[in-house]
């Protein structure tokens, strides 16, 4: 299965992606996680990406598209993948389509997790993430078993540098201006499905599984 997750910052893309990836045995590829790893390792890509991410802006398409081209060439993507946070512009969507067509493939589904703006700030300011494996927690809605430690790998949990109130608001504005057009883009191609992301985490996952089972390849 070749799928992408759409939705605003804090919709629960990363949270759901971990469960989908386990259940359907497809790699979870998050451009945000790739950038954060590069930032923590101070690579040239990380240094460039940080300038944009800290302001809540998108990393330029050229850089982002090259990363995805490289990642999707890996052997583990031959039978499918789950993209979380890519594409984020119609231009990135077109690049993905062209890349898949080179191998005679196409996308199976674009899954939108719908969450209105008023829910988002609370989710972001209470979020704690593991920079090692990308797992995401919430101090109230989804706490780790041991405070400050990742359930999956035991590493320390931290707050993301871009989870401040001002940056979150900027990211939502950027989402509405640059990423929302992808909803119509995929709807026009009959690839769009949507779930209500305001439900409890396990309820959102159940809705997603229902949709994915019906299109499973
Ligand atoms: P990225 O890391 O992708 O951030 P994002 O899209 O803003 O989304 P988030 O990761 O913040 O939210 P999420 O939907 O994954 O929510 P989560 O599951 O963690 O990108 C970061 C930056 O990198 C971008 O701003 C941009 O600069 C750059 N970038 C990345 N990709 C790019 C691209 N393709 N092009 C250009 N630039 C790019 O959940 C959030 C919180 O809510 C957690 O605490 C969680 O526990 C909680 N939660 C989840 N679900 C629920 C629920 N159902 N009920 C209650 N709480 C919940
Ligand atoms: Mg995420
Ligand atoms: Zn971890």
pLDDT in tens, 59-116: 999 999 999 999 999 999 998 999 999 999 999 999 999 999 999 999 999 999 999 9
2-27+74-116+168-216 CATH fold:
Rossmann fold (3.40.50)
The residue annotated as part of the active site, out of 13, 18, 36, 123, is: 13
Average pLDDT on 113-134 reads 93
State the pLDDT at residue 180.
98
Tell me whether residue 160 is one of the annotated catalytic residues: yes
- Name the residue of 4, 6, 8, 12 whose CB sits within 8 Å of the most ligand 1 atoms, as the mutation to test its pocket: 12
Q: Band the pLDDT of 208: cuts 50, 70, 90.
A: very high
Stated pTM of the model: 0.95
CB burial readout 188-206, b (16+ within 10 A) else e: eeebbbbbebeeeeeebbe
Burial 76-108 (b: 16+ CB within 10 A, else e): ebeebbbbbbbbbbeebbebbeeeeeeeeeebb
How far apart are the CA of 127 and the centre of ligand 1, in A? 10
Mean pLDDT of 107-135: 94
User: How crowded is the C-beta side of 185, counted as CA atoms within 13 Å?
Assistant: 20
Q: What is the pLDDT of residue 26?
A: 97
Which pLDDT tens digit goes with each residue over 16-44? 999 999 999 999 999 999 999 999 999 99
Q: Relative to the CA of 30, which ligand 1 atom is closest?
A: 3
Ligand 2 centroid from CA 104, angstroms: 29
C-alpha distances (whole Å) from 155 to each of 46, 129, 149 are 21, 10, 6
pLDDT value at residue 4: 98
Ligand located closest to 136 CA = 1
Name all residues whose Cβ lies below 6 A of ligand 1.
7, 9-15, 30-32, 35, 52-53, 56-59, 64, 85-86, 88, 92, 123, 126-127, 136-138, 141-142, 171, 197, 200-201, 204
């Amino acid at each position: 299965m070749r799928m992408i997750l759409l939705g605003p910052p804090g919709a629960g893309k990363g949270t759901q992606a971990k469960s989908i990836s386990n259940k359907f045995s497809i790699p979870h590829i998050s451009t945000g996680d790739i950038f954060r790893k590069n930032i923590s390792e101070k690579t040239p890509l990380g240094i460039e990406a940080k300038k944009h991410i800290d302001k809540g802006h998108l990393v330029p398409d050229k850089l982002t598209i090259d990363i995805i081209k490289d990642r999707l060439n890996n052997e583990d993507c031959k039978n499918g993948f789950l993209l979380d946070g890519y594409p984020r512009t119609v231009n990135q969507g077109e690049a993905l389509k062209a890349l898949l067509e080179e191998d005679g493939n196409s996308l199976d589904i674009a899954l939108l997790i719908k969450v209105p703006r008023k829910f988002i700030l609370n989710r972001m300011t209470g979020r704690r993430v593991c920079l090692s494996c990308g797992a995401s927690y919430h101090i109230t809605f989804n706490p780790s078993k041991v405070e400050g430690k990742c359930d999956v790998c035991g590493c320390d949990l931290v707050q993301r540098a871009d989870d401040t109130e001002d940056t979150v608001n900027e990211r939502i504005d950027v989402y509405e201006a640059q990423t929302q057009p992808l909803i119509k883009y995929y709807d026009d191609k009959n690839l769009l499905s949507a779930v209500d992301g305001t439900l409890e985490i396990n309820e959102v996952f159940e809705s997603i599984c229902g949709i994915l089972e019906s299109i499973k390849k």
